Structure 1
Amino acid sequence: MICPRCTGSLTRKQRTGRLCAHCGKRFALDPAVHGTGMHDLRIRSVARRGTDHGRLKITLGQLWYLSRTRNYAWAGRDAEGVPARIRWLVALPVSLGLLLCAALTDGVLAFAASVAGAAVLVVASAMRHRPAQPPTSQIIPSEAVFRGLMNGAWTAAYRHLPDGVIDDARPLPRPRGASPARVPPPVSRPRALILCTDPLVSRFLTANGIPDRLDAVLLEAVGAQGAERSTGTGEADGADVSSAAAGAALQALSAYGGALPVVVLHDADPMGVLLAPLIRGAQPGRIVVDAGLPVSAARGKPGVVRLARQNRFTDAEQLRTVAGLPEADAAWLAAGFWSPVAAVPPRVLESAVLRAVERALAAPPPGPLAEHTGGFLTWPQDPQTPHSPRARQGRGTGRPGAGTSKKEGPRPA
């Protein structure tokens, strides 16, 4: 291992207690203890790229996604076989009856009954049962482990998080010289609204002043997990949960005029892809731009964070009819797979929000022939500059969502 302080080569014995035997200084992470990839130099490099070499501020949750070493997602599995309790509840009385018949009779009938009773016991013991399993996923290291290391070992060694990284569990730091009572004034005359369903992304946008730069108001909507908690049991059907999330979003939008365009920034999950169509249906006079992570990019591109959870919100048919998704994308979401927009590289996320607001402001008022093309985010593709030929080509189309989104064929999650 290379010492992050003096760049000296250290053996296992030379870094006991995370102290360098050459310079005597403490470092934070040891790959032999904290897992592959958990090294100070790598985390610093990841943070440097994530902040675009200090230009952006990113949250600790975003740094966790960027610093992941492995990501797995497994589809759910239906139950197979007969449970052991039911199996023996049937097999034991049948076998006992056959053996009793063999004891009370003789000859061929007794022999056949005894053989049948033994066969029932053998078959019951040989049968196997696999219980149903919901869709599951795993990111290594886990979020709890990573946050504990950064707030514990890292801050103990360096007294603060990597440059440009803020702890999203704490309030944003005030600018230097600002009094506690001095807060940034709200946008007096906003030009657009940004509706975000992910708290990490909201904190990222606020920390970098992106809504203020765009003269936009940032609104937070209820995401999939919040909608599930609001139902109490989490077993409501997809229409009820979708309506609850859309109702919360409409309530947040009700304080602003219908002439303001809204940009919806969401995860690639069932709740996210349904949110923009439901808002358009409830407010047909408002320009609604779907700037969320496209399902096709989350499903088909390598390097994308893919997660899985039990889907209690909607089915593939509703995703096809309401959200207009292709068959493969709708089936992928209905199976429980999803991808968080907070895991998109911050530079790409910033560029996507800027482009989405720009196109929302330039879009014509919605009408019977107006097109709403969703999915500005592409991942992990680099953002296009405003003066690039591709960006000029996309801007010249005059319709939201043109130019960057791609759809690919299915790949294993």
Structure 2
Amino acid sequence: MICPHCERNLLRKERTGNICSHCKRAYALDPKTNTLRLNDLRVLRIATGLTDGGRIHVTPGQLWYALSRKRIRDGDFDPGCAGGAIVFAVIAALVAGFGGLTFLWYVSAVLLAIGLGNLIAHEMGVGRGIPPLPRSVFRDSALVPWTRVYGTLPPGMVDDIGDPWPRRPADAPPPNAVLVCPDPSIAAFLTADGLPERHGIAMVQGPENVRPSLLSALPPRGPVLVLHDADARGELMVEHLRAKLPGRPVVDAGLSLRTVRAQPKAVAYRDSLHKPASEEMQQLTALGKFTPEELKWLARGWRFPLVGVPPAKLLAVVDRLAEEAGRRGDAERRQAAEVGFLTWPGTPGDGSAPAGER
């Protein structure tokens, strides 16, 4: 590997304890000792690309996907190993045939079975779509060593731990729309890049946070935007909110399952621990909007995550939706003010409905 400090090409024996034997400086990640085969220079290169050259901020969840994408797509079955086993099986069979060594026939058969098994598994996609390093342990595996050496996260990165959904100050003007965003990495990403403040958006974690008190502060037709993964639960979240909020515009801001699956460069992954329950699959089937093949894909736990969308592209799309919601909200409030709607006599305490509930 290349030392990130002196740029010398280091043999394994020249980097004991993650310290370069030439410049004597420590580095964070060694491709021989971490699951994603990372090195510091690769992390820096990928992080720079995600931040669009430092123009925007990104989060650990987005970095995890970008570093895992190739391994998720290709899987961990190496067809070269299969080829080697088959070659040795043929050699063993030839030696057994010419030398009369019976036991080599058994060795040949075992090697042939291993080689063909690996080859068939690779062609069938066994292991494909399974992250070699789960997102939940990426921090301990990659970011903790990184911060131990460099003191901070990679350049341009903001953290997504804790509660990244911004709290609106008590004296803030009423929001123009609500953005439901369950993914903490995306919530931290949008907040760090100023989207909620820029467009007057109240961002919340889930449908349970879309409370009457929040809705009453919106314009009468102020929308609820839903930003979700392309998976079973994301699709159902939109439908549940529409059922919960009759008369209120609920906008599916994506990801669209059908659109994502049509993209040749989109790399989905499988999450065996979070496959949709049979009840959820029944609800999806009852919607009548998915093909049998799409339902089968969802039932197996396949998903395409928001963190997999190129950050600059995701920010541009959500920016556009939020800007449109802001324009509509301002227009509705201006119209309401012209007819005295916002100064309607009475208060919620004497039985009149607050703005936004009529």
Q: TM-score, normalised by structure 1?
A: 0.58
1:213 Cα shift? Answer: 0.6
| In 1, Cα distance between equivalents of 2:227 and 2:40 | 33
After superposition, give the CA deviation of every residue in 1:301-355 in whole Å (9 maximum; x if it has no partner): 3342322333216455532543733443233223332222233222122112112
Q: For residues 65 and 155 of structure 1, what CA distance do their matches in structure 2 show?
A: 19
Q: State the AA in 1 paired with 2:177.
A: A
Paired with 1:252 and 1:136, the residues of 2 have a C-alpha distance of 46
Asked if the contact 1:315/1:334 (under 8 Å) is kept, the reply is no
Sequence identity (%): 35
Alignment correspondent of 2:270: 307
1:97-136 equivalences in 2 (<5 Å)? none
- Helix, strand or coil at the partner of 1:353: helix
Are 2:145 and 1:153 aligned?
yes
User: Paired residue for 2:257?
Assistant: 295
C-alpha separation between the residues in 2 aligned to 1:312 and 1:136?
Answer: 22
Distance 1:251 1:57 in 2: 33
Q: Distance in 1 between matches of 2:281 and 2:10?
A: 54
Q: Which residue of 1 aligns with 2:338?
A: none
1:231-252 deviation line (CA, Å, top 9, x unaligned): xxxxxxxxxxxxxxxx664668
> 1:227 aligns to what?
none
Is 1:169 the equivalent of 2:161? yes
Q: Is residue 62–residue 343 contact of structure 1 (8 Å, CA) maintained in 2?
A: yes
Pick from 186, 190, 212 the counterpart of residue 175 of structure 2.
Answer: 190
- What does residue 14 of structure 1 align with? 14
Judging changes above 3 Å, is the alpha-carbon distance between structure 1 residues 145 and 337 closer, same or farther for their aligned structure 2 residues? Answer: closer
- Of the three residues 225, 233, 239, the one matched with 1:277 is 239
Q: Deviations over 1:266-286 (max 9, x none)?
A: 111222212323333443422
Distance change (3 Å), C-alpha of 1:358 and 1:56? same
Task: Give the alignment partner of residue 216 of structure 1, picking from 201, 204, 207.
Answer: 201
For the 8 Å contact 1:3–1:10, the answer to whether it is kept is yes
Secondary structure at the aligned position of 1:162 is classed as: coil
- Paired with 2:228 and 2:61, the residues of 1 have a C-alpha distance of 16
Counterpart in the other structure of 1:240: none
CA contact (8 A) 1:137 1:307 kept: yes
Q: Deviations over 1:184-210 (max 9, x none)?
A: 666413222111122221122222221
For residues 142 and 327 of structure 1, do their structure 2 counterparts lie closer, same or farther at Cα, with a shift above 3 Å needed?
closer
Deviation of the 1:360 alpha carbon: 4.2
- 1:363-388 deviation line (CA, Å, top 9, x unaligned): 79xxxxxxxxxxxxxxxxxxxxxxxx
Return 44-53 or 322-331, whichever deviates more: 322-331
Cα distance, 1:183–1:322 mapped onto 2, change above 3 Å: closer
* Alignment correspondent of 1:79: none
Partner of 1:98: none
Residue by residue over 1:97-139, the C-alpha shift from the partner in whole angstroms, topping out at 9 and shown as x without a partner, is xxxxxxxxxxxxxxxxxxxxxxxxxxxxxxxxxxxxxx99631
SS in structure 2 of the partner of residue 218 of structure 1: strand
Aligned equivalent of 2:108:
none
If you compute each CA radius of gyration, which structure gives the higher value, 1 or 2?
Answer: 1
| CA distance in structure 1 between the partners assigned to 2:34 and 2:326 by the alignment | 48
- 1:298–1:306 Cα contact (<8 Å) kept: no
Please name the residue that 2:71 is paired with: 70
SS at match of 1:193: strand
Matched residue pairs, number?
A: 272
Q: 1:35-86 CA deviation, whole Å, 9 max, x = no partner?
A: 4540101101111111222222222122111111522799xxxxxxxxxxxx
**Structure 1 residues 43 and 319: alpha-carbon distance in aligned structure 2, compared to 1, 3 A threshold:** same
CA contact (8 A) 1:277 1:323 kept: no
Measured at CA, do residues 268 and 252 of structure 1 come closer, stay the same or move farther in structure 2, by a change above 3 Å?
Answer: farther
Q: Higher helix proportion, which one?
A: 2
| 1:123-173 deviation per Cα after TM superposition (whole angstroms, max 9, x unaligned) | xxxxxxxxxxxx99631233354311334321222111111212322567x
- 1:280 partner letter: R
CA 1:35–1:186: 2 relative to 1, 3 Å = farther
In the other structure, the counterpart of 2:346 is none
Q: Distance in 2 between matches of 1:252 and 1:25?
A: 55
AA aligned to 2:267 is V
Q: 1 CA distance for matches of 2:325 and 2:238? A: 13
Name structure 2 gaps, 5 residues minimum: 76-126, 330-358
Closer/same/farther in 2, CA of residues 208 and 313 from structure 1, 3 Å limit: farther
TM-score (norm 2): 0.66
**Rounded Cα–Cα distance in structure 1 between residues aligned with 2:224 and 2:253:** 10
